[in-house]
Amino acid sequence: MTNFTTPNFTTKIARSIDEISPQAWEELSAGRPFQSHKWYQFGERVMSDCESIYLLVYQDTMLVGSAVLWKIRNEPLPINPGIGRAFLEATLRRWPLLICRSPLANTAGLILPADQSLRAETLKVLSETALNISRQNHCLALVFDFLGKSEIQNWQSGFSSMQVSDPGTIMQNHWQNLDEYLASGNKKDRQHYKRTLREAEKLGIKIEKHTRVPDVNAALELIYNVDHHYQNAPNPWIRNLLENLEMANGIWLEARQNGKLVGCGALFEDNQTQLTTALGLAENIPYVYLLLTYASLEEAFLKNVHALRWGSGAYDVKQNLGFELEDNDYIVISSNNLFIQKLSTWITR
């Protein structure tokens, strides 16, 4: 661990979460979802091809702020397949991105002090240190993503902020079980739920729950099918995520039609928040998405989580289920590369 000092702070750089005291880290993260010591251990395992850099700011002996950076050469880019994506992917293999985020959870990796009097100086120390690391590693750009609107204030010159077009979705949990959740809605929604179960049963579709992924290759085929349908760049860490599901106490949902896998998804819980990810679907088989949805709700109510996060996309469906847009669709970026500056503006639009 490398140390630097300023008049008010000591800044340390660690290369793994295991170099940081779990107690100090948990006190800093203060129950924030997908910021736990254990979650970062999982993230390092899954994203083993990305160098992790932990910037830690101490006041005396107390950890008051952090920024977790990942040097990424294979970031899934929100660009349609074609020459543009291929060119940028080749560029990143030579000049990586340095991205501040919590791994695998669409969550910011920046934590600032609760004490407002310390926030501006802590942000300045973290951002300047991150900029130096970005320059030393010849990174194409330094990016802080999944920020809320209030978190894009007080950045120094050289950083620009922008709002992206695909916020996540979140629902606060007010229910003890699925029956209570359905009762809080309208009659039409309850009838739709019952009809979904009846029709799925006629088609021989059933949901199974596992603590590991029985057939990773079959699951990947369905996940890539969804990526292809929406022209998404595949998640480069999805195989590792599935193979290490047990490390994070994940739940694996499978939908099978007469024994054949036709749908799947992963559930993770950290600091009382559930995350649904790794959705996979076969073509033209009805009711599978809804069955997986209801199964994820049941699991959340069973564990009495505080909130459910379902990522971006399918906003109409999620809104009908009670989800709201999450305040995490801002990024702050610094790059001297003119192409990246123009690309950032284009992606935002």
Q: Are strands 273-281 and 97-102 parallel, antiparallel or unpaired?
A: unpaired
Give 221's pLDDT tier (boundaries 50, 70, 90): very high
Based on its alpha-carbon atoms, the radius of gyration of the chain, rounded to whole angstroms, reads 21
Do 135 and 64 belong together in one domain? yes
Name the phi and psi angles at 74, rounded to 5. Answer: -135, 40
Q: What pLDDT is stored for residue 344 in this prediction?
A: 60
Instruction: For the beta carbon of residue 136, count every other beta carbon within 10 angstroms.
Output: 8
Residue spans of alpha helices (H) in 137-272:
178-183, 187-202, 216-230, 238-243
DSSP H or E stretch at residue 291: helix 288-303
pLDDT of 346 above 80 = no
Express the helix, strand and coil content of the chain in percent, nearest 5 each: 40, 30, 30
Q: What pLDDT is stored for residue 343 in this prediction?
A: 61
Do 118 and 156 belong together in one domain? yes
Q: Tally the C-alpha atoms within 13 A of residue 208's C-alpha that lie toward its C-beta.
A: 18
Tell me the per-residue pLDDT of 185-202, one tens digit each, with 9 for 90 and over.
889 989 999 999 999 999
Tell me the per-residue pLDDT of 295-314, one tens digit each, with 9 for 90 and over.
999 999 999 999 999 988 88
% the chain with pLDDT above 70: 94
Please name the residues in contact with 238: beta carbons below 8 A apart, sequence gap of 6 or more: 220, 223, 278
What is the mean pLDDT of the segment spanning 59-71? 95
The three-class DSSP label of residue 148 is coil
Tell me the per-residue pLDDT of 231-276, one tens digit each, with 9 for 90 and over.
888 999 999 999 999 999 999 999 999 999 999 999 999 999 999 9
DSSP H or E stretch at residue 125: helix 116-136
Range of the domain at 338: 2-166+328-348
Q: What pLDDT is stored for residue 191 in this prediction?
A: 93
Alpha-carbon distances of 296 from 90, 173, 178, rounded to whole Å? 38, 13, 10
Do 160 and 118 belong together in one domain? yes
The three-class DSSP label of residue 144 is strand
Distance CA 114, CA 93 (A): 38
Asked whether the beta carbons of 280 and 235 are under 8 A apart, the reply is no
265 bridge partner residues: 253
Axis-axis angle for helices 288-303, 187-202 (nearest 10): 120
The three-class DSSP label of residue 76 is coil
Q: Between the CA atoms of 161, 164, 169 and 172, what dihedral angle is there, to the nearest 10 degrees?
A: 20
Q: What pLDDT is stored for residue 116 in this prediction?
A: 87
Do 40 and 124 belong together in one domain? yes
Do 67 and 40 belong together in one domain? yes
Do 102 and 182 belong together in one domain? no
Name the phi and psi angles at 214, rounded to 5. Answer: -65, -40
Name the phi and psi angles at 176, rounded to 5. Answer: -90, -25
Mean per-residue pLDDT of the chain = 92
Instruction: For the beta carbon of residue 311, count every other beta carbon within 10 angstroms.
Output: 18
Q: What pLDDT is stored for residue 164 in this prediction?
A: 86
Do 12 and 142 belong together in one domain? yes
Do 155 and 299 belong together in one domain? no
Do 269 and 321 belong together in one domain? yes
Alpha-carbon distances of 345 from 27, 71, 159, rounded to whole Å? 37, 22, 13
Q: What pLDDT is stored for residue 4 in this prediction?
A: 57
Domains held by the chain: number: 2
N-terminal to C-terminal alpha carbon distance within the chain: 40
Do 146 and 179 belong together in one domain? no
Give 46's pLDDT tier (boundaries 50, 70, 90): very high
Distance CA 54, CA 66 (A): 7
Q: What pLDDT is stored for residue 204 in this prediction?
A: 97
Do 173 and 121 belong together in one domain? no
Please name the residues in contact with 48: beta carbons below 8 A apart, sequence gap of 6 or more: 240
Tell me the per-residue pLDDT of 155-189, one tens digit each, with 9 for 90 and over.
988 898 989 888 999 999 999 999 999 999 889 98
Asked whether the beta carbons of 54 and 20 are under 8 A apart, the reply is yes
Do 295 and 342 belong together in one domain? no
- CATH code (residue 82): 3.40.630.30
Q: What pLDDT is stored for residue 156 in this prediction?
A: 87
